[in-house]
Amino acid sequence: MEPSYDSEKVAEIHRHLHSHLPPEPALRVKALESLLVEKGLVDPAALDAWIEAYTEEIGPKRGAMVVARAWTDPDFRARLLDDAGAAVAEMGFAGQASGHLKAVENTDTTHNLVVCTLCSCYPFAILGMAPAWYKANEYRARAVRDPRGVLSEFGVTVGEGVAVQVWDSTAELRYMVIPQRPAGTEKFDQSALAALVTRNSMIGTDDLKGTA
């Protein structure tokens, strides 16, 4: 017998499943986690380890450390801009989504913005989990069509004399932005500098001027 598809039946199943989940996103996630643990599909200890790794170790702290080193080490900065994957591997941060990585640098004349118009390709091994807005259709469409307008909504004002370069990530090539180093940080060490770097600044939707 050939399988059949009943859209009304599928919709009814969908409504039934969601009626048993709380409306708040955090509670829904917790409920799903509990179900998976109860059925033996997820080890809670392993889940906790992954959450800690992505929030505390993998990102965006790794990316911030890469940026801080680029700000203080001209030779590393040159290697990063030439071959970001290899430069990141030097720091022991090589991983999935970092092998096909290109670093682009903000300057007094160019501001870089990263988007993935087809899906949400993102160097999570360096920047951590992608923010929800990065995956949103509105951002993916408008970042290309009206990058200055999008930046202004993030509180970033780009001067008329500054070009905005939009980079479209793919599965084969992903990008990270090296933001400009804030003024007044000449005496900061790499650790202090890394603390200034935000995830959004490495996507291009944050301006670190005045953060020192």
Task: Identify the pLDDT of residue 2.
Answer: 46
The pLDDT, as a whole number, for residue 130 is 87
Residues of the chain predicted below pLDDT 50: 1-3, 5, 10
pLDDT for 5 equals 46
CATH (domain of 160): 3.90.330.10
Contacts of 128 (CB under 8 A, 6+ apart): 54, 55, 58, 59, 60, 61, 62, 63, 199
pLDDT of residue 110: 97
Decide if 51 is inside a domain.
no
pLDDT number for residue 56: 55
Determine contact, residues 112/180, Cβ cutoff 8 Å. Answer: no
Residue 209: inside a domain: no
pLDDT at 3: 47
Domain that holds residue 126: 60-202
Q: Are residues 173 and 104 part of one domain?
A: yes
Lookup: tokens for 164:
């905005």
Residue whose pair of structure tokens reads 């500098």 in the numeric block: 193
Per-residue pLDDT at 1: 45
Give the model's pLDDT for residue 22. Answer: 54
Catalytic residues: 116, 119-121
CA dist., res. 67 & res. 71, Å (int): 6
Helical ranges in the chain per DSSP H: 7-19, 25-38, 44-52, 61-72, 74-82, 84-90, 124-127, 132-135, 137-145, 147-153, 190-194
